[in-house]
Amino acid sequence: MRIQEHPILGTYDRGEIVSFTFDGKVLEGFEGEPIAMALKNAGVMVHRYTKKEHKPRGIFCAIGRCTDCVMIVNGKPNVRTCITPLEAGMEICTQYGVSAEPSNGGEKK
Amino acid sequence: MKRYDMIIVGAGPAGLSAAIESAKRGMHVIVYDENAKPGGQLFKQIHKFFGSKEHKAKIRGFRIGDELLAEASALGVEVVLNAIVIGLFSEKEVTVKIDEHVEHVKGDTVLIATGASENMVTFPGWTLPGVIGAGAAQTMMNLHGTLPGKRVLMLGSGNVGLVVSFQLMQAGCEVVALADAAPRIGGYGVHASKVSRCGVPFYLSHTIVSADGDDHVTGVTIAEVDKNWQIIKGTEKHFDVDTICLAVGLSPMSKLCDMAGCQMEDNPSKADFVPTVNKYGETSISGIYAAGDVSGIEEASSAMIEGRIAGIAAAAKLGFITEEECNIEIEKQESALEGLRQGMFAPGMRGKIITETDEGVEVSQNLLKKGFVTEEEIERFPGVTHSEGIHPVIECTQNIPCNPCQDACSKHCIKIGSNITALPAVNPEAKCTGCGMCVASCSGQAIFLVNEDCGDGTAEITLPYEFLALPQKGDKGIALNRNGQKICEAEVVNVRTAKAFDHTNLLTMKVPKEFALNARFFKKEA
Ligand SMILES: Cc1cc2nc3c(=O)[nH]c(=O)nc-3n(C[C@H](O)[C@H](O)[C@H](O)COP(=O)(O)OP(=O)(O)OC[C@H]3O[C@@H](n4cnc5c(N)ncnc54)[C@H](O)[C@@H]3O)c2cc1C
Ligand code: SF4
Ligand code: SF4
Ligand code: FES
């Protein structure tokens, strides 16, 4: 959910609206905002599933320290989405385990 | 290899202050920070800071960061962002990763001002998406304009938990409860009170039993703990929430000091494993300094002074100023630091149970357990007086290092004195004009203007208001007491907004006069 107007900060400087895909679905976000923010505002909570126990993980620290939010971005796995700026046309996929291997749910390309 | 007079790791208040002092004295300085924005913790802080004017009190945190950066840049300090320092060696060689490449630089002196990182706690379900750190909540709201969730439970009643709870409400979230396993609230009472009067219940001696949900958080269960921190069966309480926010303390990020081989100490009064430093902030390795939260968790105000001291000391070490000059200037800084380190929240007071203020006033137990001072308790504090006409009522009841209220009143109605941690007192001789500067300047939102009897059976209360939508003159609603409970009907009779108030609006409401001493917040509703 976007904050439209904040009592102290007023309105936020946001980039252009751009499209990207999440597991093949087309979504929109603001260019330059962290990928994780665009996903959060589109209602996506789960960024990856752990390798052994298949447990969901999402945003935790939001500053690039915990690696909970890593995903496959343009084919590259383990990208920290909380600090990686969104670009038009990015292909973002749920990550299963630690590699770019697509798994059951996450269909790649 | 590039060489600098001083390499600073961390562009928070400590690092930037050191850069300013050393560059001012002619040193060639570079500052590295891993973030995309400078300011350290400050750029996420949107509340008005504590401290005194000299330490930028009553200025909102993010603006302090901007001010420090502008000052440093004007002095020619190079600030490199997105630059993470990954190595520090005893010969003062620094390895820094900028984007994808690694650089090696050498400093004649090095300052480690890396601040602190958030602690974590575990409970069943703690890894579920929707469980986030308090810092993450701030980053989402205050930098990226994104709500972390709709309904939030906060764990942790230290200043971070209290401040972030308030910020969550300002951004538009509902905070359903604030829980802490400790038996008493850890942060400033004034921060707790502004959360409490909005209706957030406090659950002290409570911890999280579990976070519920399959793919993300859908609820949370908390329960009371006994003296040994064991959960008491049968005391469980459940809340439907989509977000659980953790604010369970900070730990100094002292890894680089350790890596360089600085002598370290386990210091409980400094909250953790920190480098041993002398009065100049110098570690056991000559020319390597540490300042700010990395050498003991404190405040931005003290971090700035520690940074300045390190910058001045480094300048003396390299011969940019004489030792004599250095000692004179450091003495000044030290006495300011001494002043800040008084009162109930001083580093040496950690873990102690305090029963009276420095003035000998019994502290409010209810404040420590529930987050608000009761009507009976509030009367014994020197900021609460009764007189005819409009007058300030200062509900600031602990010895904290803060005094903007005193500076705000040109009529001298408010007195703290030279000891910055003293309780603010109302001067009965002075005449309040109702200008509202004190209400807007109070970092703790603890000052109200009250006219107890307007002559027609009503009373008027002016309070600080930092939420949207801003109520309008003529709006009818409900007055809430210090505990956030509805007590009577209220009508907004004035709303003042001014540049000098810096986004703190002053809302004046009219209530039946028997509620003059209790009505402390306004809610617009039928
Ligand atoms: C919610 C909240 C409210 C607060 N309210 C107040 C208040 O009202 N008044 C007050 O005085 N204080 C307040 N504080 C405390 C204050 O913000 C901190 O004490 C202060 O920021 C510490 O300053 P610092 O320079 O030591 O560290 P920080 O501000 O943490 O800065 C350290 C910087 O170093 C960077 N860094 C760390 N490691 C590396 C590395 N290896 N390479 C490159 N960069 C690195 C970090 O990313 C960070 O930017 C508050 C803090 C919080 C969290
Ligand atoms: S309202 Fe103005 S005159 Fe009255 S106490 Fe506050 S600052 Fe002083
Ligand atoms: S009343 Fe004064 S000392 Fe207390 S929080 Fe407000 S400004 Fe600070
Ligand atoms: S949420 Fe922790 S690294 Fe992104």
What is the pLDDT, as a whole number, of residue B271? 63
| Assigned domain for B468 exists | yes
- Specify whether the CB–CB gap between B197 and B483 falls below 8 A: yes
Let me know whether B129 and B95 are in one domain.
Answer: no
Query: Quick one: CA torsion of B121, B123, B128, B133, rounded to 10 degrees?
Result: -20
Let me know whether B142 and B17 are in one domain.
Answer: no
Please indicate whether residue A32, judged by its CB atom, sits closer than 6 Å to ligand 4: no
What is the pLDDT, as a whole number, of residue B90? 85
Between the CA of B146 and the centroid of ligand 4 the distance, in Å, is 15
Q: Which residues of B touch A (CB under 8 A)?
A: 34-36, 46, 60, 117-118, 127-133, 135-136, 139-142, 144-147, 150, 170-172, 215-216, 466-468, 470, 503
Let me know whether B461 and B509 are in one domain.
Answer: yes
Least CB–CB distance from A62: residue in B130, B139, B171: B139
Let me know whether B408 and B503 are in one domain.
Answer: yes
| B416 CA closest ligand 3 atom index | 3
Q: Which residues of A touch B (CB under 8 A)?
A: 1-3, 5-9, 12, 14, 33-34, 37, 40-41, 45-47, 55-65, 68, 82-83
Print pLDDT tens along chain B (526 aa). 899 999 999 999 999 999 999 999 999 999 999 998 889 999 899 999 988 877 788 899 999 999 999 999 999 999 999 999 999 998 999 999 998 899 999 999 999 999 999 999 999 999 999 999 999 999 999 999 999 999 999 999 999 999 999 999 999 999 999 999 999 999 999 999 999 999 999 999 999 999 999 999 999 999 999 999 999 999 999 999 999 999 999 999 999 999 999 999 987 776 678 999 999 999 999 999 999 999 999 989 999 999 999 999 999 999 999 999 999 999 999 998 998 898 999 888 888 889 999 999 999 999 999 999 999 999 999 999 999 999 999 999 999 999 999 999 999 999 999 999 999 999 999 999 999 999 999 999 999 999 999 999 999 999 999 999 999 999 999 999 999 999 999 999 999 999 999 999 999 999 999 999 999 999 997 5
The CATH number of domain A17-96, selected from 2.60.40.1120, 3.40.50.720, 2.170.16.10, 3.10.20.440:
3.10.20.440
Q: Which of B194, B220, B248 is the last residue of a domain?
A: B248
| Assigned domain for B191 exists | yes
Least CB–CB distance from B133: residue in A33, A60, A64: A60
Candidates B36, B27, B48; CA nearest to B109 is: B27
Let me know whether B390 and B479 are in one domain.
Answer: yes
Categorize the per-residue pLDDT at A103 as very low, low, confident or very high, splitting at 50, 70 and 90: low
> Token digits for A25?
């679905």
Let me know whether B217 and B318 are in one domain.
Answer: no
Let me know whether B387 and B452 are in one domain.
Answer: yes
| Assigned domain for B58 exists | yes
What is the pLDDT, as a whole number, of residue A108? 35
Let me know whether B195 and B317 are in one domain.
Answer: no
Q: For the segment A54-69, what is each residue's pLDDT rounded down to a tens digit? A: 999 999 999 999 999 9
Let me know whether B224 and B144 are in one domain.
Answer: yes
Domain that holds residue B449: 373-524
**Chain B nearest CA to A86, separation (Å):** 13
> Residues A57-60: contacts with CB within 8 Å, 24+ apart?
A57/B127, A57/B129, A58/B128, A58/B129, A58/B130, A58/B216, A59/B129, A59/B132, A59/B136, A59/B140, A60/B131, A60/B132, A60/B133, A60/B136
Mutate to test the pocket of ligand 1, among B94, B299, B305 (most ligand atoms within 8 A of CB): B299
Q: Is the pLDDT of residue A106 over 60?
A: no
As beta bridge partners, residue B462 has B449, B508
Candidates B98, B109, B113; CA nearest to B36 is: B98
Distance CA B29, CA B109 (A): 10
| Assigned domain for B352 exists | no
Question: Of all helices (H) and strands (E), which one includes residue A38?
Answer: helix A35-41
Edge to edge, what strands does the sheet with A76-80 contain?
A25-30, A17-22, A91-93, A70-73, A76-80
| B58 CA closest ligand 3 atom index | 7
Least CB–CB distance from B147: residue in A1, A45, A62: A1
What is the pLDDT, as a whole number, of residue B270? 66
Let me know whether B160 and B258 are in one domain.
Answer: no
Categorize the per-residue pLDDT at A100 as very low, low, confident or very high, splitting at 50, 70 and 90: confident
Q: Which of B289, B323, B340 is the last residue of a domain?
A: B340
Task: Write the Ramachandran bin of B475: left for phi over 0, alpha for psi from -120 to 50, otherwise beta.
Answer: beta
| Overall number of domains in chain B | 3
Phi, then psi, of B204 in degrees rounded to 5: -80, 165
| Assigned domain for B41 exists | yes
Let me know whether B230 and B312 are in one domain.
Answer: no
What is the pLDDT, as a whole number, of residue B306? 97
* Alpha carbon nearest to ligand 1 atom 19, residue: B299
B64: domain CATH number is 3.50.50.60
Complex prediction ipTM: 0.94
| Assigned domain for B81 exists | yes
Ligand 1 binding site (Cβ under 6 Å of any ligand atom): B 9-15, 32-35, 40-42, 45, 49-51, 84-85, 113-116, 159-160, 163-164, 253, 292-294, 298-301, 303
- Closest ligand to Cα B390: 2
What is the pLDDT, as a whole number, of residue A102? 64
Only one residue has tokens 């008084």, namely B342
| Assigned domain for B282 exists | yes
Categorize the per-residue pLDDT at A109 as very low, low, confident or very high, splitting at 50, 70 and 90: very low
- Specify whether the CB–CB gap between B510 and B493 falls below 8 A: yes
Distance CA B358, CA B342 (A): 10
| Assigned domain for B174 exists | yes
- Specify whether the CB–CB gap between B203 and B165 falls below 8 A: no
SS3 B385: coil
> Token digits for B167?
């910020």
Who contacts B344 (Cβ-Cβ below 8 Å, separation ≥6)?
B354, B357, B398, B399, B400, B421
Ligand 2 binding site (Cβ under 6 Å of any ligand atom): B 392, 408-409, 411, 413-414, 432-438, 449
Let me know whether B453 and B309 are in one domain.
Answer: no
Distance CA B277, CA B116 (A): 17
> Residues B409-413: contacts with CB within 8 Å, 24+ apart?
B409/B437, B409/B438, B410/B435, B410/B437, B413/B438
